[in-house]
Amino acid sequence: MTFSRRHFIKTGLATGIAAPFFHQAFANTSSALFDCGVASGDPTHDAVILWTHTARPVALEWQVAEDLNFARVVKQGRGNTVDASDCTFKVDVTGLNPGSVYYYRFIAGKEQSEPGRTKTLPQGNLHSLSIAVASCSNYPFGYFNAYHHIAADADIDYVVHLGDYIYEYGQDSWGDKEGQALNRRHLPAHEIVSLADYRMRHRQYKTDNGSRLMHAAHALIPTWDDHESANNPYMDGAQNHQSNEGSWAARRAASIQAYYEWMPLREPLQSADKANLWRHFNFGDLATLTTLETRHTGRSLQIDYAEHLKQLNTEQALRHFIETVLGDPSRTMISVAMEQFLQAQLSASVKQSKWRLIGNQIPIARTHVPKVNDLTLPAELAKNDAVAAHFAYFVALGKLDLPIYLDTWDGYPVAREKFYQLCQSANATDLIVLTGDSHAFWANQLFAGDGDAMGVELGTAGITSPGDFEVLGTGLATELDKRVANHNREIIWTDCQHRGYVKVILNSDSVKAQFIAVNTISSEHYRANLLREYRITKQGKSLSMTLV
């Protein structure tokens, strides 16, 4: 099906997918005051966060209704947008009914926002649940067409966003060539560091039409990854934070404050640390979702291949690197408090729910690079020094059978085993791990170090961020995808050449994982197609995944 996002936001969709809501919602609504639309998120069984932004400080009122015409208003109130919170506004609307759809809007004087549609979490017996899984929306690389497609799907109950909602880079960095061609260059022009910078960047991302539509259509369950602050952070710093950019603690605090201001996210208690962004969601008796925090509260410094690769020229040196450097038991991924929370929630989930979802930012399956030294770059790409160096890097890793990334769980193998042991202690060996970060689709089966099955991993491609193999050309990228899957026991299938999202459809008997791709992000006119679909079933305390 072909979509035009400009047409969609003005006149609604064709029949069959959310048309009634969007036709009425956007046909006659245009407000310069509510310049970034509306959003909802962090649903509970009886509450939801509503969000908006205004172009200047105003007094406003909000309404929640059972119908799109707002004839049956069930909740309403007043508030103000102020400069201290960057003119963002959030309200935690309580006293709602479980598993119910509501419509909401904001009004300031004669101006009115477009309406939004949201949904509380269900309670009790639940037969089906549909979740969209998204990650990695880099504004300069292209239009957020996958967000638009999510908005268009009325079957989706909730959207789980696994991070890299924004990127911190400036106009002198990754993606700016594409941004210039599309007139989508990052604002501010420099790499974002201050609170004002992060606020401006969030505001820019919220102006994308696909983003506005997705937020208006579905409740969001968000968590961050690295680029909401800076590339590859850990507890005490980040790869993309240098000493001339001030203190890391101040930069991280600014990024977290802006994230809470600009996302439909429930504020923690005053005594709580906002960095502790782990949550648990119950979808009736059908499923639970626990989101992890793997960046700011428990992660040790990443190991850098650049400091080790040249020395790995003997079997002894390689073994020492794997066992002692990578295998250092003191290196952690998640905090003790996060572990305790996870264990308690999983133990309760096993007793109450059929399926256990984990919202995980970074790939967890073992992903080693296969031998690729028999492959050669196309002549035109071999002339590009950066591409040639990128390929040589893969060749070097493949010769040593090393993990492709060390920022993922592969760089923390002891922490991964501890995570699996924690899950085993809760009798949760049937995990459905939802993963972002890698800009590639993944269908993986997971095993602990002792070989015991731990569940499956569903990885989503980027909304716009490109896969690492793409720069090598279509033929080579396709071959590398195949070799990575063939080389690694845990990987059933991977694809790094498409942009899109994963739709997860759960019922009592099975789970469908649909990998949905858009054919372009350089135009507002696009096609979406089902790239691949898997069926997940439960066999005892483990899961199996088969291609549909």
CA-based nearest residue to 528, from 98, 110, 132, 66: 132
Q: Which of 82, 104, 121 is the last residue of a domain?
A: 121
Residue 105 lies in a domain: yes
Q: Which of 91, 121, 151 is the last residue of a domain?
A: 121
The answer to whether 364 touches 432, Cβ cutoff 8 Å, is no
pLDDT at 3: 43
Per the listing, tokens 């197609």 go with 529
Clarify whether residues 452 and 497 are in a common domain: yes
Cα torsion 315, 317, 320, 323: sign:
negative
Clarify whether residues 460 and 483 are in a common domain: yes
Clarify whether residues 46 and 66 are in a common domain: yes
Residue 373 burial (C-beta neighbours within 10 Å; 0-12, 13-18, 19+): exposed
Clarify whether residues 329 and 467 are in a common domain: yes
pLDDT at 75: 98
Give the number of other CB atoms < 10 A from CB of residue 276: 16
Clarify whether residues 174 and 302 are in a common domain: yes
Clarify whether residues 127 and 186 are in a common domain: yes
Clarify whether residues 436 and 480 are in a common domain: yes
Residue 379 lies in a domain: no
b/e per residue, 497-530, with b = 16+ CB within 10 A?
A: bbbbbbbbbbbeeebebbbbbbeebeebebebee
Whichever domain contains 83, its CATH number is 2.60.40.380
List Cβ neighbours of 196 (8 Å cut-off, separation of 6 or more). none
Structure tokens at 416: 């991964």
Mean pLDDT per block of 10 residues along the chain (548 residues) reads: 39 38 57 95 98 98 97 98 98 98 97 97 97 98 97 96 98 96 98 98 97 96 98 98 97 98 93 92 98 98 96 96 97 98 98 97 98 93 93 96 97 98 97 98 97 97 95 94 98 97 98 98 96 95 95
Residue 92 lies in a domain: yes
Q: Which of 65, 99, 121 is the last residue of a domain?
A: 121
Residue 396 lies in a domain: no
Q: How many domains, the chain? A: 2
pLDDT at 31: 85
Record the pTM.
Answer: 0.95
What is the extent of the structural domain holding 95? Answer: 31-121
The answer to whether 300 touches 235, Cβ cutoff 8 Å, is yes
Query: Would you state the torsion angle of the CA atoms of residues 134, 135, 137, 143, taken in this order, to the nearest 10 degrees?
Result: -30
Task: Count Cα neighbours of 454 within 13 Å in the Cβ-side half-sphere.
Answer: 25
Task: Count Cα neighbours of 120 within 13 Å in the Cβ-side half-sphere.
Answer: 20
The answer to whether 390 touches 309, Cβ cutoff 8 Å, is no
Which H or E run contains 282? strand 279-283
CA-based nearest residue to 73, from 31, 24, 40, 115: 115
Radius of gyration of the chain (CA): 23
Residue 382 lies in a domain: no
Clarify whether residues 174 and 264 are in a common domain: yes
Q: What is the DSSP letter of 368?
A: B
Clarify whether residues 61 and 127 are in a common domain: no
Clarify whether residues 482 and 450 are in a common domain: yes
Which H or E run contains 196? helix 195-206
C-alpha–C-alpha distance, residues 413 and 401, integer Å:
15
The reply to whether omega before 140 is within 30° of 0 (cis) is: no
Clarify whether residues 74 and 10 are in a common domain: no
Whichever domain contains 151, its CATH number is 3.60.21.70
